[in-house]
A and B are shown apart, each in its own frame.
Chain A
């Protein structure tokens, strides 16, 4: 029998709110690490939760929610960056290139974390966050990123090289 808290027929506002309280913070922090943008991260986390709500009929155990939410946040972040690339290409053709997305300061964040996130291309950043923050295996990370485990290994390796170079520049 389906558990009450994930039965969509019985999901009233309070139960949805309880699910939200339990999961939104974790989803937000993952989204932040992928985007380095607090407002965007909050939007992505909320969008992911809305999609999760729509999929509750397929979720059998409360523990499954976290995995679904994680995958949705990653997909939404990728979709965001793909869309931004298309948008940037259009604006470049039109001759109105937007300013770099480095001006959304989050004063509560340590500079080092923010610099580290922004120095990495999105695919390398995603691989490193999933491996070292979410503690996923290479295979699980590859599954979420729709690529090979060897590609994940390569992206993590390249990302680490970039980070070491960044630290070298900063300390040197």
Chain B
């Protein structure tokens, strides 16, 4: 069965008797209630904004009349610390310095030099999802193997030599993070065996010893039970995300949890977060948070933002305000920069446009570099100034 046959088969849905074209009364009634509630909320927000604005202007006028310019009681604005990035609200993405690439490449962000990936990886089928180990000597990646369409995990030196297949799991494997000492990979393996209800496969959250290939299972569950696993700050916990049902709430993303590396109780790190990666110094965490807004008129409902928090999940705040198509952030080895994937919506066509990967300087609190790509791209750090960019 090929794509064309699947398309033809899906078109058979036109033969299913559809709903009556006339709107049922209960739908009309509920629609009117929805319209009324939303208008009331909108008007209330506008009114509140107007009141706050008037009060603010009044305060400013009062201050300008009563307080001398050199008032010694005036408190200066605090200088933002590394944990309190205050990014600009409007960013001219078009004028960011950077380079353009049209496929996987290695980019030196100091010089703009672009080089091809080592030829060793080209021998693999659809390689991608590269991640460089702490220390910068080896990396893992995923690629298809054995004629299957499922990915397996490979490791290699960053120059492409000593390429080894680490997994050979029936339903495929996905790797996400390195242990702090670079000896283990946390991964999710699809065992290929049906679960009790026979509706899907069981998956295992595992640690893989890179030197020996030995796999240790931490926990097992349904697909989606252990999404984007990473090591926690002390290397003794694995952080992952999963959806937890919230009574009475319609829009929400997955929550971030952790489990000890030797198994045990699962505890919540923070709500509404996924892909949580701890900084090299173990003090902070970058993660992605789903946002449920209309991103652009034709672009659908919902997006995702890159957020920062303390390593324990406290004080979560967005890296950049109002930038709802950013995700998959990772730390530079020295922890002073992040690289993340960014897209935007073309207002005219309503289509998603891939911008590429953005280097964000945490010291300045601003985006510093943009590797422009023609497809969805992710970045991983080879060293503090060099990126390996994977264009999907």
B39 an interface residue at 8 Å Cβ cutoff? yes
Q: Which of B27, B171, B325 has the largest count of A CB atoms less than 10 A from its CB?
A: B27
How many angstroms between the C-alpha atoms of A13 and B78 in the bound complex? 55
The residues in A between 117 and 135 inclusive whose CB is less than 8 angstroms from any CB of B are 121, 123, 128-129, 132-133
Chain B residues with Cβ below 8 Å from A55 are 38, 294
How many angstroms between the C-alpha atoms of A153 and B148 in the bound complex? 14
Chain A residues with Cβ below 8 Å from B298 are 61, 63-64, 67
How many angstroms between the C-alpha atoms of A42 and B19 in the bound complex? 6
Chain B residues with Cβ below 8 Å from A70 are 300
| 23 contacting pairs across A/B (C-beta < 8 A) | A8-B35, A20-B21, A25-B19, A53-B35, A54-B31, A59-B297, A61-B297, A64-B297, A67-B297, A67-B350, A83-B245, A106-B16, A109-B13, A110-B12, A113-B10, A113-B12, A140-B300, A146-B290, A148-B392, A149-B392, A150-B128, A150-B376, A161-B148
Whether B21 and A24, one on each chain, are in contact in the complex, defined by CB atoms closer than 8 angstroms, is yes
How many angstroms between the C-alpha atoms of A137 and B346 in the bound complex? 14
Question: Min CB distance, A128 to chain B, in Å?
Answer: 7
Whether B35 and A67, one on each chain, are in contact in the complex, defined by CB atoms closer than 8 angstroms, is no
Whether B253 and A50, one on each chain, are in contact in the complex, defined by CB atoms closer than 8 angstroms, is no
Whether B21 and A25, one on each chain, are in contact in the complex, defined by CB atoms closer than 8 angstroms, is yes
How many angstroms between the C-alpha atoms of A154 and B122 in the bound complex? 19
**Chain B residue nearest to A71 in the complex (CB):** B300
Question: Min CB distance, B10 to chain A, in Å?
Answer: 4
In-complex Cβ contact of B10 among A79, A133, A138, A160 (8 A): A133
Chain B: residues with Cβ within 8 Å of the partner, total of 70
Chain A interface extent, by class? 35 or more
Chain A residues with Cβ below 8 Å from B200 are 121
Whether A158 and B172, one on each chain, are in contact in the complex, defined by CB atoms closer than 8 angstroms, is yes
A3 an interface residue at 8 Å Cβ cutoff? no
Whether B42 and A57, one on each chain, are in contact in the complex, defined by CB atoms closer than 8 angstroms, is yes
Interface of A is mostly: helix
B28 an interface residue at 8 Å Cβ cutoff? yes
Whether B304 and A109, one on each chain, are in contact in the complex, defined by CB atoms closer than 8 angstroms, is no
How many angstroms between the C-alpha atoms of A55 and B35 in the bound complex? 7
Whether A54 and B38, one on each chain, are in contact in the complex, defined by CB atoms closer than 8 angstroms, is yes
Q: Mark A26-68, 1 if CB is under 8 A from B, else 0.
A: 0011001100001000100110011101111111110110011
Interface residues of B (CB under 8 A from A): 1, 3, 6-7, 9-19, 21-24, 27-28, 30-32, 34-35, 37-39, 42, 128-129, 148-151, 171-172, 197, 199-200, 222-224, 243, 245, 250-251, 253, 290, 294, 297-304, 325, 327-328, 343, 350-352, 354, 376, 378, 392
Whether A24 and B19, one on each chain, are in contact in the complex, defined by CB atoms closer than 8 angstroms, is yes
Whether B354 and A109, one on each chain, are in contact in the complex, defined by CB atoms closer than 8 angstroms, is no
Q: Mark A148-172, 1 if CB is under 8 A from B, else 0.
A: 1110011001101101100100000
Chain A residues with Cβ below 8 Å from B378 are 148
Chain B residues with Cβ below 8 Å from A38 are 16-17
Chain A residues with Cβ below 8 Å from B34 are 50-51, 53-54
**Chain B residue nearest to A164 in the complex (CB):** B1
Chain B residues with Cβ below 8 Å from A93 are none
Chain A residues with Cβ below 8 Å from B299 are 67, 143
Question: Min CB distance, A48 to chain B, in Å?
Answer: 11
Whether B197 and A146, one on each chain, are in contact in the complex, defined by CB atoms closer than 8 angstroms, is no
In-complex Cβ contact of B16 among A64, A108, A143, A154 (8 A): A108
Q: Which of B15, B34, B39 has the largest count of A CB atoms less than 10 A from its CB?
A: B34
Chain A residues with Cβ below 8 Å from B9 are 112-113, 116
Whether B172 and A154, one on each chain, are in contact in the complex, defined by CB atoms closer than 8 angstroms, is yes
How many angstroms between the C-alpha atoms of A106 and B354 in the bound complex? 41
In-complex Cβ contact of A33 among B13, B250, B376 (8 A): B13
Whether B250 and A140, one on each chain, are in contact in the complex, defined by CB atoms closer than 8 angstroms, is no
